[in-house]
């Protein structure tokens, strides 16, 4: 934790609809805004402009500041059902291609919009009723620009506050990057690329994974693989299974049900529907932050995950019908390699109808089979 008692020369500023430039002494000066009617008897300085309305197809610049400095905290809330219909982008030092381009919900570990998933972690906190908080530290030398685009078919309210410090940065400063990818359906081979073509020096700091397995049964045998600095067919770092990478074990199954958890650095924080188990069309959300254990690379990085379940006879089953979306977080030196623009037509996340849960007898047989398979093959 930062030594908060140690004084520095940093200056704190904050941007919101009540102070859109973040200028000193310029807060609460609005005479028009979304709160003007409610404040009509109180006047200027009484929450006249607490939010903006973002129409369908509209792009808004939430913050644009000159550096050097560090974005310390972002708070935002909006229509909870539209989290994948909004695209968050961040640009450092005047770059044309964003270093961060992610659906808003996925940036805050809420790719599935069936219901809000609460998160209690060090860099990301999602509070009850929809408070989205980011504590990712985002340094910039010359400038920082944050935009939000509404690619949904309806307008939404957006409340936000971006707090940053103006301060000098050390010479070896790396910039935060984030990239989103979706495979739907996954197809052959059942391997989803989380990120590739990362060029430069840096360290990988986090993964958010949203998955609908597409086949019934246990779905998390696939390994996460990190290909570093020239690795070709085989990676330098290879995990032992999906639930293992996210800090869990044994199918996330405790007494015949998935048990959700959210901790400082990892979690299985979303299970939809929560009362079912081993269903093909269930949806799951999980995260892992490599803050105590960053994965360093000198020149390049590629990260993949296999989608793997169990077949009859104790055989692995590639989950070719899986729907997988991931967000990768990493720090690196600039310039960064420019990838393809985010495919906004892949974003809508229509809630699926709930399927009937397994009968007690079927659930017992499934659990017995998977427990036996695990004992034999792990």
3-state secondary structure 237-256: EECCCHHHHCCCCHHHECCC
pLDDT at position 226 over 80: yes
Residue linked to tokens 């399927």: 355
Which pairing describes strands 11-15 and 131-134: parallel, antiparallel, or unpaired?
unpaired
pLDDT at position 369 over 50: no
pLDDT at position 112 over 50: yes
Fold of 180-378: Jelly Rolls (2.60.120)
Same fold, 1-173 and 180-378: yes
Predicted pLDDT at 261: 98
Mean pLDDT of 282-289: 98
Mean pLDDT of 164-169: 96
**Nearest-10 Cα torsion for 116, 360, 357, 108:** 20
What tens digit of pLDDT does each residue of 300-346 get?
999 999 999 999 889 999 999 999 999 999 999 987 877 777 887 76
Tokens of 213: 């397995």
Q: What class does CATH assign to 1-173? A: mainly beta
Q: Are 150 and 55 in contact (CB under 8 A)?
A: yes
- Confidence class for position 37, pLDDT limits 50, 70, 90: very high
**Nearest-10 Cα torsion for 212, 76, 152, 175:** -70
Mean pLDDT of 60-67: 97
Predicted pLDDT at 370: 42
pLDDT at position 3 over 80: no
User: 253 CB contacts (<8 Å, ≥6 apart)?
Assistant: 218, 277, 367, 370
| Domains of the chain by residue range | 1-173, 180-378
Mean pLDDT of 150-156: 96
- Confidence class for position 354, pLDDT limits 50, 70, 90: very low
pLDDT at position 221 over 70: yes
User: pTM of the entire structure?
Assistant: 0.91
Mean pLDDT of 371-375: 43
Mean pLDDT of 248-268: 96
Predicted pLDDT at 6: 81
- Which residue did the predictor score with more confidence, 217 or 2? 217
Tokens of 173: 């400063």
Predicted pLDDT at 367: 43
pLDDT at position 348 over 70: no
């Amino acid at each position: 934790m930062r030594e908060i008692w140690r004084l520095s020369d940093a200056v704190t500023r904050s941007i919101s609809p009540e102070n859109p430039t973040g200028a000193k002494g310029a807060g609460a000066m609005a005479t028009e805004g979304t709160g003007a009617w409610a404040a009509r008897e109180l006047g200027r300085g009484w929450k006249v402009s607490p939010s903006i309305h973002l129409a369908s197809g509209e792009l808004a610049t939430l913050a644009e500041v000159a550096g050097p400095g560090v974005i310390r905290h972002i708070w935002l809330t909006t229509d909870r059902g539209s989290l994948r219909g909004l695209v968050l982008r961040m640009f450092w030092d005047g770059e044309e291609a964003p270093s961060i381009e992610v659906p808003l919900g996925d940036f805050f570990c809420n790719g599935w919009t069936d219901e809000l998933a609460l998160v209690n972690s060090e860099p990301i906190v999602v509070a009850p009723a929809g408070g989205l908080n980011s504590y990712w530290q985002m340094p910039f030398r010359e400038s920082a620009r944050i935009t939000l685009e509404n690619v949904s078919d309806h307008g939404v309210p957006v409340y936000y506050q971006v707090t940053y410090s103006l301060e000098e940065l050390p010479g070896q400063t790396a910039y935060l990057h984030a990239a989103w990818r979706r495979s739907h359906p996954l197809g052959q081979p059942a391997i989803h690329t989380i990120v590739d073509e990362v060029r430069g020096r840096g360290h990988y700091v986090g993964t958010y994974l949203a998955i609908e397995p597409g086949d019934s049964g246990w779905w998390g045998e696939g390994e996460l693989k990190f290909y570093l600095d020239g690795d070709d067919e085989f990676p330098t770092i290879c995990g032992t299974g999906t639930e293992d990478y996210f800090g869990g074990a044994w199918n996330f199954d405790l007494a015949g049900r998935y048990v959700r958890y959210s901790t400082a650095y990892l979690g299985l924080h979303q299970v939809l529907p929560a009362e079912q188990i081993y269903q093909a069309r269930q949806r799951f959300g999980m995260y892992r932050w490599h803050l105590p254990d960053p994965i360093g690379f000198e020149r390049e990085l590629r990260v993949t995950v296999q989608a793997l379940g169990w077949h009859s006879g104790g055989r692995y089953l590639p989950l070719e019908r899986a729907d997988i979306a991931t967000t990768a977080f990493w720090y690196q030196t600039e310039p960064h390699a420019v990838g393809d623009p985010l495919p906004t037509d892949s974003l809508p996340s229509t809630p699926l109808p709930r399927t009937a849960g397994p009968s007690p007898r079927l659930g017992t047989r499934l659990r017995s089979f998977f427990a036996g398979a695990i004992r034999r093959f792990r």
